A and B are shown apart, each in its own frame.
Chain A
């Protein structure tokens, strides 16, 4: 029995070393992968970041742009002022 446990302990120690080595290797590889992704991303040039992506729908041709809306509201405002 005692010998069995000794055997198991050796196996557990092997698992400890092998497991930790693998976890570190795998995640180190992933660090490399993230760097590669970042590098490719830079090479592909400026891409709309998430903030821009959210703002993008405003450029939809069927909808008036922010500038047009503000110009129109300014005009309406002025018109109402003059024709009171």
Chain B
């Protein structure tokens, strides 16, 4: 009888807490979203599975000595994983469309309004009893509006590690929801005529310009915003490997094998932060709500800026491309293209939207650097 009691005691059934069961259900929900609904499956699948593993009673995945504990310590606590991913993103990014039409950088800048406005909103939430966001917490939450997973994780790991799970899940969920969140805002702020505007063909960009560009970005960051150099530096390294054309092997590794390996561990480590005591809180609800607001404001600011630019520009500008300023590469640019085609079946905006789209990546990295410098 005593043996039976010991045996019972060694099963998970005897140790399940309600919180763990709820978090496992959250894990299953993420797996469902990834597998059935195809929401950012590359990240939500490992995150969902990480959530399952970390909530297993007695297994101790996320306690000192457990696998996920070390993966988190090595990769996210240090900021290494998001930076390696950023290098891969740099190697995947073609700045040609931006170099051909550099004014698109202004759209990438305008869309960052979503970040800073949300920061304000997060602090204002403190008026509701139960919320106690510090300025650091608010900054880490606001960066969801940058629509850039690695940037959000990097900043959250530096400013508010205890909120990281919720922030990462919100960031990736909303990036998957871009095709649902953005079009109504884009349509509400533009007229049919504006959406039909066709833009001029972009000029051809030489290889030399593409090689000098990442170096110039890095130089400016070094001079004016050193706190952003971890993100921008790795991004520029990846991009230089791509454009220089002399290290194709390294470039291919950065944009395929390396980014894939890191993605597996990044997802698992983020999932390990989905424990009941950290996730089942009122704050998580606040973070999910604020994330959606950040996305919406960023999109609106981008579109409005594009309308303003169209007024002063000699070349026609379709205001829809402003929505691509909220990074989320390349999903946001595809959404712009789709909404443009709905208004005018002969209007292909994809290349024009790629400019503000990659500008948005730079913009959110710069915004992250500013937040680190002023709040960190």
B219-258 vs A: 1/0 string, CB under 8 Å? 0100011000000000000000000010000000000000
Given the complex, which residues of B lie within 8 Å of A58, measured CB to CB?
Answer: none
> Closest A-chain residue to B96, C-beta based?
A50
Given the complex, which residues of B lie within 8 Å of A33, measured CB to CB?
Answer: 216-217, 220
State whether A30 touches B106 (Cβ < 8 A): no
State whether B120 touches A23 (Cβ < 8 A): no
| Bound Cα distance A15, B109 (Å) | 15
**Given A15-B119, A37-B216, are A27 and B366 also a contact pair (CB < 8 Å)?**
yes
State whether B206 touches A5 (Cβ < 8 A): no
State whether A23 touches B206 (Cβ < 8 A): no
Closest 10 CB pairs of A and B: A34-B102, A16-B116, A27-B105, A27-B109, A12-B123, A31-B102, A12-B120, A33-B216, A19-B116, A5-B126
B352-376 vs A: 1/0 string, CB under 8 Å? 0000000100110011001100110
- Say yes or no: is B207 at the interface (Cβ < 8 Å to chain A): yes
> For chain B, which range describes its interface: under 10, 10 to 19, 20 to 34, or 35 or more residues?
35 or more
State whether B120 touches A13 (Cβ < 8 A): yes
* B residues lining the A interface (CB < 8 Å): 98-99, 102-103, 105-106, 108-109, 112-113, 115-117, 119-120, 122-124, 126-127, 134-135, 138-139, 204, 206-209, 212-213, 216-217, 220, 224-225, 245, 359, 362-363, 366-367, 370-371, 374-375
| Bound Cα distance A31, B217 (Å) | 10
- Say yes or no: is A38 at the interface (Cβ < 8 Å to chain B): yes
